[in-house]
């Protein structure tokens, strides 16, 4: 089984850019997001035999990340730590394009959503998972997923409209 285990490692390695991207929707900050990816990869490597070939490896990894994030959130709450909501290092410089300015505004808006809503935004709008697949990742019925997604979209639209109104 050494070969198949190595195949899974290679496939997870190929997914790293997307895992980092999903991490950024969950964790808001680059360092926290990469910590989360690291935790999830370590957990996944300890149980590659639990992944079923023929199912989506990205969804399996997203599920591990989501669970690790819930664990982390609870641990921080117990320790009384607060999250820093805004991303560091996003300065608007002279060479910043309209696209980059818009991207920063959108990421800030997503960061203001609650944990559940950020997860559905990340899975459906950013990672492009079908509703059923995203619902399985989160362990909720499809109806719950779609109502969370609808509320997240309304909230995002309101936050962005506010930001544009005060610009």
Instruction: Name 64's Cβ contacts closer than 8 Å, sequence gap at least 6.
Output: 40, 43, 44
CA distances for 131 relative to 90, 101, 141, 162, angstroms: 32, 30, 10, 28
**Window 126 to 155, contacts with another protein (CB under 8 A):** 126-128, 130-131, 146-147, 149-150, 153
Listed ranges 3-11, 47-55, 61-69, 71-79: which one lies at the site for another protein (CB under 8 A): 3-11
- Angle subtended at Cα 97 by Cα 93 and Cα 99, rounded to the nearest 5 degrees: 130
Q: Which is nearer to another protein, 73 or 151 (CB)?
A: 151
> Does the protein bind another protein through residue 94 (CB under 8 A)?
no
Q: Which of 55, 103, 114, 141 binds another protein (CB under 8 A)?
A: 103
Q: Is 41 in the site for another protein (CB under 8 A)?
A: yes
CB 110 within 8 A of CB 158: no
| Residue 115 touches another protein, criterion: CB under 8 A | no
Instruction: Give the other-Cβ count within 10 Å of 35's Cβ.
Output: 15
Among the listed residues 57, 73, 125, 140, the single contact to another protein using CB under 8 A? 125
Closest CA to 1 of 38, 51, 39, 36: 51
Interface residues toward another protein, by CB under 8 A: 6, 9-10, 12-18, 20-21, 24-25, 34, 37-38, 41-42, 45, 97-99, 102-107, 110, 121-122, 124-128, 130-131, 146-147, 149-150, 153, 156-157
């Amino acid at each position: 089984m050494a070969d198949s285990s190595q195949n899974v490692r290679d496939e997870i390695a190929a997914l790293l850019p997307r895992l980092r991207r999903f991490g950024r929707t969950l964790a808001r900050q680059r360092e926290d997001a990469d910590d989360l990816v690291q935790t999830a990869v370590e957990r996944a490597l300890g149980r590659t035999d639990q992944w079923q070939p023929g199912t989506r490896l990205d969804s399996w990894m997203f599920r591990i990340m989501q669970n690790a994030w819930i664990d982390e959130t609870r641990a921080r709450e117990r320790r009384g730590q607060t999250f820093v909501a805004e991303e560091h290092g996003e300065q608007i410089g002279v060479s910043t394009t309209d696209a980059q300015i818009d991207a920063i505004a959108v990421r800030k808006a997503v960061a203001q959503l609650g944990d559940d809503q950020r997860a559905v935004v990340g899975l459906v709008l950013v990672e492009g998972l079908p509703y059923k697949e995203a619902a399985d990742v989160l362990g909720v019925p499809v109806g719950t997923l779609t109502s969370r997604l609808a509320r997240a979209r309304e909230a995002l639209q309101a936050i962005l409209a506010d930001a544009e109104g005060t610009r």
